[in-house]
Structure 1
Amino acid sequence: MKRQWEKLETFLHNTNPALLADLAPPATDAEIAVLEHGLGISLPPDFVFCLKIHNGQRVNSTGLFDESEFLSTSRILQEWTIWKELLDAGDFDGVESTPQSGIQPVWWSPKWIPFTYNGAGDHLCLDLDPAQNGSQGQIITLWHDDDARERQADSFTQWFTAFVEKL
């Protein structure tokens, strides 16, 4: 993961210095603990390692991941809380998604942890509650107004590596 970040940082240095400068410093153990406590879960070690390199973006430039914001620990909790409040209010009662194999057929699960945000209510999420044939920590899409749920990778490491390799 560290090598992939170095490759990404070099790419940004050469192509988009403003985006490189927008990356936040590493998350502290305390920030990660607050996030995990707020979510009521333990995050996958590969994602924690990533946050300990850069705690998301400061949001002073375009989004890091295909123009989607790379969420900091505080922004993850903020976005997750919005979805949790909608769930608790019953907004998703009786509504199912149309997921690919390995993803729960729900509109949203509290164990889907958003780590990107496109500004329109859509995310990539860590799926910590996969269905049968899924992988703990797989990366899935979450669209606020579309019932499709697609698996992007089996793990954060796999997803991040593929993202960096296609640059």
Structure 2
Amino acid sequence: MKRIDTWLAAHAPPRFLPIYREPASLEQITQAEREIGVQFHPDLHALLSFTNGATSSSPSLAGAFGLMTLDEMVSAYKFLLEEFPGGKNLENPNHAPIDADVGVRPVWWWPKWIPFMENGGGDYLCVDMDPTAGGNLGQIVIYYHDEAFRRRDAQSIGEMFARIADGLETGTYTFNLNHRMIAKR
């Protein structure tokens, strides 16, 4: 995150700064873990200890996905848990089966997926605390609310942000002013 922060401080227009909120306290993180009943991965702890989400003026950091606050994470988690108990879409039980990358559960949503980034349209990047065989504890799963495929985006939060930082530093990624996001050129 610090590499992305450094790049944005040098290249993002001032109206998009500051990017990050104050860090979450250990007490706030522990309370969120208690509320949802899932212990966070150390990478998520580290991210929240750096920032408790993005500011309202902040650009999206991963395509259209922006960082969520702890309160937003807990709210989204509870909503998804209610909508898809046991990973099933109860409103449409005959919907096409879910397909998934190796290591990712083929379900609508899973109670051990912790949303930490969102695009404002009901889609989330989630930290996977219960991967299947071939997966990584802490891998990043992309949850699209209207797609029947669950994809692994990265092995970890650290890997995902390193990829974005590398892309910014090499020019593969850029800050898109029109869409207020970091995206591939």
Between 1:82-91 and 1:18-27, the stretch displaced more is: 82-91
State the distance in 1 between where 2:16 and 2:116 align.
17
| 1:54 is the counterpart of 2:54 | no
Partner secondary structure for residue 161 of structure 2: helix
Are residues 20 and 9 of structure 1, via their aligned partners in 2, closer, same or farther at CA, if it must alter by over 3 Å? farther
Shift of 1:91: 3.5
Look up the equivalent residue of 1:28 and give its one-letter code.
S
**TM-score normalised by the chain length of structure 1:** 0.89
| 1:36 is the counterpart of 2:43 | no
Partner secondary structure for residue 63 of structure 2: coil
Q: Kindly provide the CA deviation profile for residues 36-76 of structure 1, in whole angstroms up to 9, marking residues without a partner as x.
A: 11121111112101110111113234323323220111111
Partner secondary structure for residue 114 of structure 1: strand
Bigger radius of gyration: 2
Q: Which runs of 4+ in 1 moved over 6 A?
A: none
State the distance in 2 between where 1:119 and 1:66 align.
12
State the distance in 2 between where 1:7 and 1:101 align.
30
State the distance in 2 between where 1:139 and 1:48 align.
15
| 1:115 is the counterpart of 2:125 | no
CA contact (8 A) 2:4 2:164 kept: no
Look up the equivalent residue of 2:62 and give its one-letter code.
F
Partner secondary structure for residue 163 of structure 1: helix
Shift of 1:92: 6.5
Shift of 1:121: 0.7
Name the structure 2 match of 1:82.
Answer: 79
Name the structure 1 match of 2:131.
Answer: 130
Q: Which has the higher strand share?
A: 2
Partner secondary structure for residue 7 of structure 2: helix
2:6 corresponds to which of 6, 10, 22: 10
Q: CA RMSD in A?
A: 1.8
Name the structure 2 match of 1:143.
Answer: 144
Query: Which structure is higher in RCO with an 8 Å CA cutoff and minimum separation 6?
Result: 2
State the distance in 2 between where 1:92 and 1:32 align.
34
State the distance in 2 between where 1:6 and 1:69 align.
16
Uncovered stretches (5+) of structure 1, i.e. residues with no partner: none
Partner secondary structure for residue 151 of structure 1: strand
Shift of 1:93: 4.6
Are residues 126 and 92 of structure 1, via their aligned partners in 2, closer, same or farther at CA, if it must alter by over 3 Å? farther
Partner secondary structure for residue 52 of structure 1: helix
> % of aligned pairs identical?
30
